[in-house]
């Protein structure tokens, strides 16, 4: 999953507002390739997902664009993931290939191997605990992916999966067929009260955060820069060749120790080369969230991966300091005349290559830089207020920030009936959000320890 700002009043918020006011690149794209001819393979990395795999497969079966292959990569599961997938696919006429591993090697090597072993145009990565809510999710992401050669990844809006979502799936015909055979399986039962309690904080917290991030922050970035820092994981369409080239380049240097979150690393690497990661607002997917007790671990994986990517792609991070040099270069090339001569036109067009990034930076580098500033400075500022007992400034800052963020969330929620609900839900989960903000101090200390003390960079998911 993607990184997000925990403290809403900051540079990224201002930048997103500026982006929405500025408006998008008005260049009409002239795609060189027809997306309808693209060959799509769906790759499902799975580890002990017997409770979720049938819902994932059911959502693929409903898609308007049918993939050539559905490949389930079982990463050393000890439960009945493979058995359930085989039987569900058999009784519902789903053509699936299952790759079994005796022991787990992780999600990153899975994506790498499949990008090399298959020849599809699009490698669609779908987590086994994720369902595609929109029936045209794959079609829309592939369609947008092929609007320009500079687009490396495309995803939709990702939200937490609630028990009500699972209950609605239990009433679909494919799932009913399966549950008539395995009625005792947990997958065929609604969540118990205890299971709901174990996830209630995480689900409500993430629902608010994901909505603010994707409907406001990312939307502003998409309009202004034509890209976001990294695709929102769980359900992403990649240009397979771009992914293969990426691993061919970095494997000799880093092996499989990229970062603690593969989608964040891939997103940064694509931006560093001049490609773009786009997000669509008109299709969505939902994913299972961890129990509340597992929230700190997941926050650590995402936040640490962000810092790790800033370390690897420091040229991208330094983009703001190269803005004048980049502007001079663009003016010297007379980009307007070049654009007029191009037969194939692409919005947000920029030169490809890591060397260009080192020399001139990238516009999206502003987002990487301001995100790094937010994630390092905000926790320190709050800690300073607490240590020196500056309670009045702290209360005023927190109150203003909570009201502001809750108002924005209520505005960006597309469903009118849910606006008031989200406003108060945002206020209620604010203590959790501030707790995670302080937790980022621990993540920074761990990252610093890895870099300067142990020099241990075995970062892998």
What confidence tens digit (pLDDT) does each residue in 150-192 have? 999 999 999 999 999 999 999 999 999 999 999 999 999 998 9
Is 80 exceeded by the pLDDT of residue 335? no
pLDDT in tens, 199-254: 999 999 999 999 999 999 999 999 999 999 999 989 999 999 999 999 999 999 99
* CA separation, residue 265 to residues 259, 281, 303, 424 (Å): 6, 23, 12, 34
Place of tokens 């690897």: 312
What are the b/e assignments for 246-264, b being 16+ CB within 10 Å? Answer: bbeebeeebebebbbbbbb
Whether 22 maps to a domain, the answer reads: no
Q: Residue 158: its pLDDT value, please?
A: 97
Task: Work out the burial of residue 338: count CB atoms within 10 Å of its CB; fewer than 13 is exposed, 13-18 middle, 19 or more buried.
Answer: exposed
Place of tokens 């022991």: 103
* CA separation, residue 408 to residues 197, 300, 426 (Å): 28, 26, 10
Please provide the average confidence, as pLDDT, over all residues in the chain. Answer: 92
Q: How many domains does the chain have?
A: 2
- Identify the three-state secondary structure at position 237: strand
In the numeric block, which tokens belong to residue 168?
């609605």
| Euclidean distance between CA atoms 224 and 23, whole angstroms | 7
| Euclidean distance between CA atoms 431 and 438, whole angstroms | 11
Label residue 338 by pLDDT band (50, 70, 90): low
- Residue 330: how many other CB atoms lie within 10 Å: 15
Is 90 exceeded by the pLDDT of residue 84? yes
Is 80 exceeded by the pLDDT of residue 342? no
Domain boundary among 312, 333, 363: 312
- Same domain flag for 185 and 59: yes
- Same domain flag for 303 and 386: no
Write the CB contacts of 88 (distance below 8 Å, at least 6 apart in sequence).
53, 54, 57, 58, 94, 174, 178
The pTM (predicted TM-score) of the whole model is 0.94
Strands 122-126 and 235-239: antiparallel
Q: Residue 401: its pLDDT value, please?
A: 87
Write the CB contacts of 442 (distance below 8 Å, at least 6 apart in sequence).
300
Whether 17 maps to a domain, the answer reads: no
Contact 365, 314 (CB under 8 A): no
Q: Which of 461, 460, 4 is nearest to 232 (CA)?
A: 4
Is 70 exceeded by the pLDDT of residue 116? yes
Give the CATH number for residue 111: 3.90.550.10
Is 70 exceeded by the pLDDT of residue 144? yes
- Give alpha helix (H) positions in 150-293: 163-170, 173-181, 193-212, 218-225, 240-254, 262-273
**What does the pLDDT average to over 260-268?**
94
- Same domain flag for 393 and 264: no
**What does the pLDDT average to over 276-305?**
94
| Euclidean distance between CA atoms 125 and 118, whole angstroms | 13
Q: Residue 330: its pLDDT value, please?
A: 80
Place of tokens 């409903």: 62
Of 83-97, 191-205, 291-305, 332-346, where does the model show the most confidence?
A: 83-97
- Same domain flag for 292 and 183: yes
The residues with which 155 forms a beta bridge, in sequence order, are: 236, 279
Whether 6 maps to a domain, the answer reads: no
Which strands, in side-by-side order, build the sheet including 97-101? 97-101, 69-75, 40-46, 122-126, 235-239, 151-160, 276-287, 130-132
- Same domain flag for 321 and 306: no
Contact 227, 277 (CB under 8 A): yes
pLDDT in tens, 393-416: 889 888 988 998 899 999 999 899
Domain boundary among 312, 332, 365: 312
Classify the C-alpha dihedral 171-177-180-184 as positive or negative. Answer: negative
Q: Residue 61: its pLDDT value, please?
A: 97
Q: Which of 352, 372, 238 is nearest to 312 (CA)?
A: 372
Label residue 357 by pLDDT band (50, 70, 90): very high
Is 60 exceeded by the pLDDT of residue 5? no
- Same domain flag for 287 and 373: no
**What does the pLDDT average to over 40-68?**
97
Is 70 exceeded by the pLDDT of residue 131? yes
Is 50 exceeded by the pLDDT of residue 451? yes
Q: Residue 13: its pLDDT value, please?
A: 86
Question: Which of 68-72, 167-171, 342-346 is the least confident region?
Answer: 342-346
- Same domain flag for 287 and 326: no
CA atoms within 13 A on the CB side of 422: 23
Whether 9 maps to a domain, the answer reads: no
Q: Residue 6: its pLDDT value, please?
A: 43
- Same domain flag for 174 and 261: yes
Q: Residue 58: its pLDDT value, please?
A: 97
Whether 18 maps to a domain, the answer reads: no
* CA separation, residue 125 to residues 112, 234, 240 (Å): 11, 7, 10
Q: Residue 245: its pLDDT value, please?
A: 97
Is 60 exceeded by the pLDDT of residue 270? yes
- Same domain flag for 330 and 285: no
Whether 13 maps to a domain, the answer reads: no
Q: Residue 1: its pLDDT value, please?
A: 47
Backbone angles phi, psi at 237, to 5 degrees: -95, 120
Q: Where are the beta strands (DSSP E) in 2-150?
A: 40-46, 69-75, 97-101, 122-126, 130-132
Question: Which of 37-51, 190-204, 269-283 is the least confident region?
Answer: 190-204
Whether 156 maps to a domain, the answer reads: yes
Label residue 438 by pLDDT band (50, 70, 90): confident
Is 60 exceeded by the pLDDT of residue 329? yes
Whether 12 maps to a domain, the answer reads: no
| Euclidean distance between CA atoms 444 and 421, whole angstroms | 34
Domain span including residue 281: 28-312
Q: Residue 339: its pLDDT value, please?
A: 64
Q: Which of 223, 246, 243 is nearest to 43 (CA)?
A: 243
Label residue 341 by pLDDT band (50, 70, 90): low
- Same domain flag for 216 and 362: no
How much of the chain is in helix, strand and coil states, percent to nearest 5? 60, 10, 30
- Same domain flag for 335 and 258: no
- Same domain flag for 227 and 258: yes
- Give alpha helix (H) positions in 227-364: 240-254, 262-273, 295-312, 314-317, 323-332, 335-341, 354-360
Contact 114, 123 (CB under 8 A): yes
pLDDT > 90 fraction of the chain, expressed in percent and rounded: 75
């Amino acid at each position: 999953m993607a990184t997000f700002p925990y403290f809403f009043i900051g540079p990224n918020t201002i930048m997103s507002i500026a982006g929405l006011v500025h408006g998008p690149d008005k260049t009409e794209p002239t795609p060189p390739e027809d997306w309808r001819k693209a060959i799509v393979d769906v790759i499902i990395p799975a580890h002990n997902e017997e409770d979720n795999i049938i819902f994932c497969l059911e959502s693929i079966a409903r898609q308007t664009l049918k993939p050539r292959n559905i490949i389930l990569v079982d990463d050393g599961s000890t439960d009945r993931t493979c058995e359930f997938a085989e039987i569900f696919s058999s009784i519902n006429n789903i053509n699936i290939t299952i790759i079994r591993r005796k022991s787990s090697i992780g999600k990153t090597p899975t994506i790498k191997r499949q990008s090399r072993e298959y020849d599809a145009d699009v490698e669609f990565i779908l987590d086994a605990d994720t369902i595609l809510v929109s029936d045209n999710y794959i079609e829309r992401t592939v369609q947008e992916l092929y609007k320009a050669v500079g687009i490396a990844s495309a995803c939709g809006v990702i939200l937490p999966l609630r028990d009500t979502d699972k209950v609605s799936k239990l009433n679909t015909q494919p799932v009913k067929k399966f549950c008539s055979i395995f009625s005792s399986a947990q997958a065929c039962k609604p969540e118990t009260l205890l299971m709901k309690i174990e996830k209630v904080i995480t689900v409500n917290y993430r629902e608010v955060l994901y909505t603010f991030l994707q409907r406001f922050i990312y939307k502003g970035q998409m309009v202004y820069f034509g890209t976001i820092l990294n695709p929102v994981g769980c359900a992403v369409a990649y240009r397979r060749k771009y992914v293969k080239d990426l691993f061919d380049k970095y494997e000799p240097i880093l092996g499989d120790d990229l970062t603690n979150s593969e989608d964040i690393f891939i997103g940064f690497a694509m931006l560093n080369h001049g490609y773009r990661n786009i997000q669509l607002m008109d299709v969505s997917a939902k994913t299972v969230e961890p129990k509340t007790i597992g929230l700190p671990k997941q926050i650590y994986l995402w936040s640490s991966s962000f810092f790790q990517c800033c370390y690897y792609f420091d040229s991208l991070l330094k983009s703001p300091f190269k803005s004048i040099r980049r502007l001079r270069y663009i003016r010297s090339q007379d980009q307007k005349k070049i654009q007029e001569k191009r037969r194939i036109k692409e919005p947000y067009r920029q030169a490809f290559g890591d060397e260009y990034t080192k020399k001139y930076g990238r516009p999206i580098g502003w987002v990487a830089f301001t995100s790094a500033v937010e994630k390092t400075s905000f926790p320190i500022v709050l800690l300073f207020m607490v240590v020196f007992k500056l309670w009045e400034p702290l209360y005023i800052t927190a109150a203003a920030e909570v009201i502001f963020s809750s108002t924005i969330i209520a505005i960006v929620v597309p469903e009118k009936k849910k606006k008031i609900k989200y406003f108060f839900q945002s206020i209620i989960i604010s203590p959790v959000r501030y707790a995670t903000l302080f937790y980022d101090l621990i993540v920074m200390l761990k990252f610093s320890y890895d870099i300067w003390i142990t020099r241990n960079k075995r970062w892998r998911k």
